[in-house]
A and B are shown apart, each in its own frame.
Chain A
Amino acid sequence: MLDMTGVTSFYGSSPVLQNVSLSVPRGAVLSVLGRNGVGKTTLMRTIMGLTDRATGGIGLDGRDIQAEPTHRRAELGIAYVPQGRGIIGRFTIRENILMGSFARPDGKRAIPPLVFELFPYLGENLNRRGGDLSGGQQQQLAIARALAANPSVLLLDEPTEGIQPNIVEQIQNIIVALNREHGLTIVLVEQNVRFVRRASQRFLMLDKGRVAAHGDTALLSDELVHRHMTV
């Protein structure tokens, strides 16, 4: 579904991500792990085409998208929930969600019913400003916006970071449901190893911008976690 082969990605002239290859089969969840600053966010931004420059190949459904600009990648079915959530503060909840639908190639502009089902709070407060929401609500909104694009691949960058514990579990359940019940292919950046083991079939461990280990989640041993994730 989504593949990278030998991708090196730059900010300015420094190669933050080096020679990264990965492959996410359709309907799978790939978790990306690693310490702070190893390049997890950069990996997501590289898939979206947001770094200054990238070499190597990025393919979606067998089609090379490396030369496509960011907005085309979105139209081709990749939706991104960034680490800072990227909510438009002066937009209402409705506008923030509808904005996601601009990526729909069929031109349909509507909030999908699934959004109301998963996030009743958003549905009941469509006219509140995005900037006035709590962190957890903004995270829900960012996921809702991504879903409005009717994507085939969802990129989630630390979706539970900085969120109250009682809401964390709710968001985790929604991520699992999006994958298992709604068939979304997901790339998930996540520090919580227990959740990685629960949600994903594949993992990719980054260290200093390179792939340190990858494979089936069953192979994600405590020893690996210890070696590449403890500070």
Chain B
Amino acid sequence: MDILLSQLFTGLSIGSVLLLVALGLAIIYGAMGVINLAHGEFVMLGAYATWLLQSTLGLSLLPCLFLVFLMVAAAGWAVERTVVRFLYRRPLDTILATWGVGIMLQQAVRLAAGADLRYVETPNPLSGSIDLAGVAIPSYRLFVLAFAAALLGVTWFVVQRTEFGMKLRAVTQNREMASCTGIDSARVFSLTFAFGSGLAGLAGALVAPIKSVAPDMGTNFVVDAFMVVVVGGVGSLFGTVASSGLLGGGTAGFAFLLNDTLAKALVFLGVIVLVRFRPQGLFAATGRR
């Protein structure tokens, strides 16, 4: 029972980081149809940015977060302005181009920071654990869960309740008509790309103390996040949330019963079966357009 609870908790915290990565990916794909294969590298950049801020300025993780968001968002903005925006009408080229950008980012970081693993410290107040129904839950994992939930709330608010979000939804549904009502769709796309990248960067900052920081750490994230988006269904915030929980929990559960590798394989198999029978995902946005 105790082990189950602690596994459940591990699953939830894996799921919540996954959610942040997938959220950015889903927003970018949903809004502009761009499959961003460099998304994992923004996670990696977030982790390195945290490491850099910590090792040079001695900042602890918490004050880093806001800066990391801005730094990675700026990187995303630059990638959108210089590469992605020229490819909006060519989906296949976008995939190739973002893949290339991802590799370049990886190599750039490898050159600048070295190929060694880097470590980020868990902030002091969060290094202990909390007793929950007799089970010791690491406080940092609780923090990650709460922070991801808060960011989900912020994202929902931005998309559904702000003027920027309304412009984004308008551009998503009818780009031409949106521009006929004075909406600068190019600007909306740049900012959306920056926001999604910033979220990925935050995910990177959050996992930095749990996992080691390496130039190729983004690859796994992007694969898992894609599975989340595919399972959840495009255009559904709720779907992204539910399927992050499902995949995070599933991976943790199988890993507990079997082992990590087999768990990954089983989850992957499950996703393939699901996509075969429900290609639109579990919670695809419905309704007349």
Contact = CB atoms under 8 A, between A and B. Distances in A.
A71 B184 contact: yes
A90 B130 CA distance: 44
Contacts of A50: 176, 179-180
A86 to B, nearest CB: 4
A90 B180 contact: no
B interface, size bucket: 20 to 34
Given A82-B177, A98-B166, A71 B183 contact: yes
A58 B184 CA distance: 20
A69 B181 contact: no
B55 interface: no
A98 B179 CA distance: 14
Contacts of A131: 287-289
A201 to B, nearest CB: 25
Contacts of A82: 177, 180
Nearest to B175: A70
B181 A90 contact: no
A149 interface: yes
Interface residues of chain B: helix, strand, loop or mixed (majority): helix
Contacts, number: 72
Q: Which of A70, A98, A131 has the most CB of B within 10 A?
A: A70
A88 B185 contact: no
B34 to A, nearest CB: 20
B287 A71 contact: no
A69 B179 contact: yes
Given A89-B287, A89-B289, A149 B181 contact: yes
B180 A86 contact: yes
A-B pairs, 5 with minimum CB distance: A103-B182, A86-B177, A131-B288, A70-B179, A74-B182
12 contacts: A69-B184, A71-B182, A71-B185, A74-B179, A75-B182, A88-B177, A90-B169, A90-B288, A103-B181, A103-B182, A129-B287, A145-B181
Given A48-B180, A90-B288, A102-B167, 8 more contacts: A50-B180, A71-B185, A74-B181, A82-B180, A99-B170, A99-B183, A131-B288, A132-B288
